[in-house]
Chains A and B, each alone.
Chain A
Amino acid sequence: MLRYETLLLGKTEMTEDDIAMLERSFDKIISAAQGKLSSFDKWGKYRLAFQVNKNTNGVYMLVRYEIPVNSASNLIKELDEFLKIKCDELILRHVNKRLAKNAPATYMKPESLDAIRTSSVDAFIKDNKIDNLLSSVDAAGDESVN
């Protein structure tokens, strides 16, 4: 069984239904080739490095799957056709890659816009310990805070 992964770049207008539809169609195509879908991760919204078809933001999704040796090349062709033709309006780019046998299951991914925007100003100040700027006084009663 060979391990593959596909990184999809979709538009930000994608709804939850669209993503569920994508997952189901991936499942169908892969199981038709006697393979197995390992994981479908939605990374979230990201700011792109350059404009892709006039979009500055995009949604990334990582799909990992295992397929037998004989059906590998046909499956990749089918996936490319499916993503280019049927999902033309949803998906902007995609990259297929073969994973090594001993490759670890964990991977490093860049920080998404959702992760950056959910932290508040007070949390930032507490993390960096800038005591004089705290808007609300702590219950412990710091003497340095006016």
Chain B
Amino acid sequence: MSRNKLKISSRLLKKKVRKQAFLNPKHCRFCNNVELEQSLDYKNVNLLRNFITERSKILPSRVSGNCSFHQRAIATEIKTARAIALIPFCTLQG
């Protein structure tokens, strides 16, 4: 018996993703949270690890949900942490 493979077109998937972004918008976790904002530091490696990928690339704000102000702050902190060897510049997979 041949299987009927359901072909979902990429156009429909993109439409679904756009709808989800409209219905469940992401919020910046730093806005209106003074404690978290003050703990945003290049020394606070545990917090910064939430915003880098497996290859140690900085996550874009549409994935992490940060507002532009805090995304820039996080990017500068990650870059200073990289300079002093707290976070790697690049990790190879495997």
The answer to whether A50 and B83 touch (CB under 8 A), given A107-B43, A107-B44, A108-B47, is no
| A49 contact set on B, CB distance < 8 A | 82, 85-89
Number of B positions contacting A (CB below 8 A): 18
Q: How far is the CA of A49 from the CA of B80 in the complex (A)?
A: 13
B42 at the A interface (CB under 8 A): yes
A-B contact count (CB 8 A): 47
B31 at the A interface (CB under 8 A): no
Q: Verify B47–A95 contact, CB threshold 8 A.
A: no
Q: How far is the CA of A93 from the CA of B81 in the complex (A)?
A: 11
Interface centre among B39, B41, B82, B83 (most CB of A within 10 A): B41
Docked complex: A96-127 residues within 8 A CB-CB of B: 97, 103-104, 107-110
A58 at the B interface (CB under 8 A): yes
Q: Verify A108–B85 contact, CB threshold 8 A.
A: no
B17 at the A interface (CB under 8 A): no
Docked complex: B58-87 residues within 8 A CB-CB of A: 80, 82-87
In the complex, how many angstroms separate the beta carbon of A69 from the nearest chain B beta carbon?
23
Q: How large is the interface on A (under 10, 10 to 19, 20 to 34, 35 or more residues)?
A: 10 to 19
Q: Verify B46–A110 contact, CB threshold 8 A.
A: yes
Interface centre among A9, A49, A50, A110 (most CB of B within 10 A): A49
Q: List 16 A-B contacts (CB under 8 A).
A: A7-B84, A9-B85, A50-B85, A50-B88, A52-B85, A93-B83, A94-B84, A95-B83, A103-B38, A104-B38, A108-B41, A108-B44, A108-B46, A109-B43, A110-B45, A110-B86
Question: When A and B form their complex, which 10 residue pairs have the shortest distance between CB atoms, in order from nearest?
Answer: A49-B88, A108-B44, A110-B45, A48-B85, A95-B84, A49-B85, A93-B84, A50-B88, A109-B43, A52-B85
